[in-house]
Structure 1
Amino acid sequence: MKKIILILAVFMVVMACKTNPFTGKSTLNFYPNSQIFPMAFAQYNQFLGENKVVKGTSDAQMITKVGQRISSASERWLASNGYPAYLKDYKWEYNLVNDETVNAWCMPGGKIVFYTGILPITQTETGVAVVMGHEVAHALADHGAQRMSAGMLQQLGAVAGNVAIKDPQKRNTFNQAYGLGSTVGVMLPFSRSHETEADRIGLQIMAIAGYNPDEAAELWKRMKAKSGGQAPPEFMSTHPSNDTRIANLTQWAPLAKQEAAKFGVTTFK
């Protein structure tokens, strides 16, 4: 049984490799768009039905406007780099939800939510573009499907260990150690790498959309001030620390401008 599980896991990893066009790296993804997108769209619609969606206000219109500009910029980049059909199954949607939570998120296939609570941090249209670029990047890079795939492998590892270890006491020790080790040593770094990747891709596409990438680091300085500097150690978090993000975004902003210049964009909002 243990050998069967191992062979199955190896087979899944080999068959699930997909190239991220923005990084050129192979990614782990067991779920085709045809499977995961309909599930995501249904969950998104259910969420909208259960929450207060803001319609018709200047803020709601700005969210849609920025989202359209950012997704259009990603389409331009993909077409220019040999991926003209990459987004054919995506159905972009951008909604503002009345909630004090300081957050925004994206589901597979391009379904994005901004909470009103993040608007005092974004402050301007360009600030919204920083967050929107990050969320669109998650969709472009299939991060949702990758997290689900990694979770499946984590579960397979736990099953293999429980099948192999016959002694109940040793099995209990294994489960405790495996749960902590696979989370801190694998799943959390995996999540942080996605956040870093989304920051970099998002910076690039917001610049192509005509928004100033220098503002990204400024937004995260405001985010840090909002948190009062209170955060768990980076190795225990799903996200990089504010200081790490500020340093990265500051370093990458000139590169994003260089990429935008390839598309004739040399001035920014």
Structure 2
Amino acid sequence: MPSLKKISITLSVAALTACASSPTGRSQIILFSDVQMSQLGAQSFEEMKAEIPKTKNQNKINYVQCITDALLPHVPIQGGFSEWEVVVFDSEQVNAFALPGGKIGVYTGIMEVAETADQLAAVIGHEIVHVTAQHGNERMSQAQLANIGMQVTSVALHDNDYRDLAMGALGLGVQVGVLLPYGRTQESEADIVGLEILAKAGFDPNASVTLWQNMAKASGGNQPPELLSTHPSHSTRISDLQAKIKQLPPSTNQAPDCERLL
């Protein structure tokens, strides 16, 4: 498998117009192929498995796998890979993630906040959408375009009176806007689309609201202002989720009783 540092992408004028649409209809610039993203995701996942200990608690492994197995039939089929791999990491970190290539990581610490299977399903569904909506590809593409933009600007602006001002403005845009990891728009999109997957699988969509209420309590009120955060505020997330829940059609599926495995 090629090293992350060795994978290089040649961009052409045609590539700069590689537009796509997100699951909510939002326009995206996508410059990397499914295969390339899967390779990057798979390599990153292997590195994490080598560095972070995996839990030996088989009950927790079965629990997370049960929830994931219930969600995946309602996830769109992806290019670049055919199966999802799930690993439960033994860590107090309150987090979970999904990577291109069908890789899902859940830290045992998240189970202290996501107290039920329905709540953990909300977490895992959210992370899966980051992959299916190509948010990682979108972020990398934006980074590539930002680098090109700075290079072109540097060459084109010969007047030193304006060059520093223009480069500073572009740099500020890069720092505060374009390159924030999983910006608020992507996070909100993952919340809403993840909620749809959650409901289709038969989990209780109201658990997503409880989850973020728990997150707010766990943070102890130490969340940064929404304007300077890569995530929406807890109150914004809760409000958006509550509005979406009212629009969801009744599910014809019944989620499995995964909690019996704990």
Report the TM-score range of the alignment, normalised by the length of the smaller protein.
Answer: 0.7 to 0.9
**Shift in Å at residue 177 of structure 1?**
2.6
Q: Unpaired runs of 5+ in structure 1?
A: 1-7, 79-84
Q: Deviations over 1:75-102 (max 9, x none)?
A: xxx4xxxxxx545724311111111211
**Shift in Å at residue 189 of structure 1?**
9.6
CA distance in 2, matches of 1:229, 1:10: 46
Contact 1:189/1:235 (<8 A) preserved: no
**Shift in Å at residue 266 of structure 1?**
7.3
Q: What root-mean-square deviation, in Å, do the aligned CA atoms of Structure 1 and Structure 2 show?
A: 2.4
Q: Which amino acid letter does the alignment assign opposite residue 161 of structure 1?
A: T
Q: Deviations over 1:129-185 (max 9, x none)?
A: 010110111111111111100111111111111112235575444333321123324
Q: What TM-score does the superposition give when structure 2 sets the normalisation length?
A: 0.85
Q: Unpaired runs of 5+ in structure 2?
A: 1-10, 258-262
**Shift in Å at residue 212 of structure 1?**
0.3
* Number of the residue aligned with 1:19: 21
Q: CA distance change for structure 1 residues 148 and 124 in 2, over 3 Å: closer, same or farther?
A: same
Count of aligned pairs between the two proteins = 247
CA distance in 2, matches of 1:209, 1:233: 34
* Number of the residue aligned with 2:253: 265
Which structure's relative contact order is higher, taking Cα pairs within 8 Å and 6+ residues apart?
2
CA distance in 2, matches of 1:68, 1:162: 50
Contact 2:139/2:181 (<8 A) preserved: no
Q: Which amino acid letter does the alignment assign opposite residue 21 of structure 2?
A: T
Q: Of 234, 248, 257, which aligns to 2:226?
A: 234
Q: What TM-score does the superposition give when structure 1 sets the normalisation length?
A: 0.83
Q: Of 172, 182, 185, which aligns to 1:180?
A: 172
Taking every aligned residue pair, what percent have the same amino acid on both sides? 34
* Number of the residue aligned with 2:46: 45
**Shift in Å at residue 55 of structure 1?**
3.7
Correspondences of 1:68-147 after superposition (within 5 Å) = 68-74=69-75, 78=76, 86=78, 89-147=81-139
CA distance in 2, matches of 1:42, 1:188: 22
Q: Which amino acid letter does the alignment assign opposite residue 18 of structure 1?
A: A
Contact 1:188/1:236 (<8 A) preserved: no
Contact 2:34/2:79 (<8 A) preserved: no
3-state secondary structure, aligned to 2:45: helix
Q: CA distance change for structure 1 residues 243 and 108 in 2, over 3 Å: closer, same or farther?
A: same
CA distance in 2, matches of 1:189, 1:169: 32
Contact 1:188/1:235 (<8 A) preserved: no
**Shift in Å at residue 9 of structure 1?**
7.4
Q: Deviations over 1:42-100 (max 9, x none)?
A: 221121011101144211211111112111122xxx4xxxxxx5457243111111112
3-state secondary structure, aligned to 1:231: coil
Q: CA distance change for structure 1 residues 29 and 190 in 2, over 3 Å: closer, same or farther?
A: same
Q: CA distance change for structure 1 residues 55 and 208 in 2, over 3 Å: closer, same or farther?
A: farther
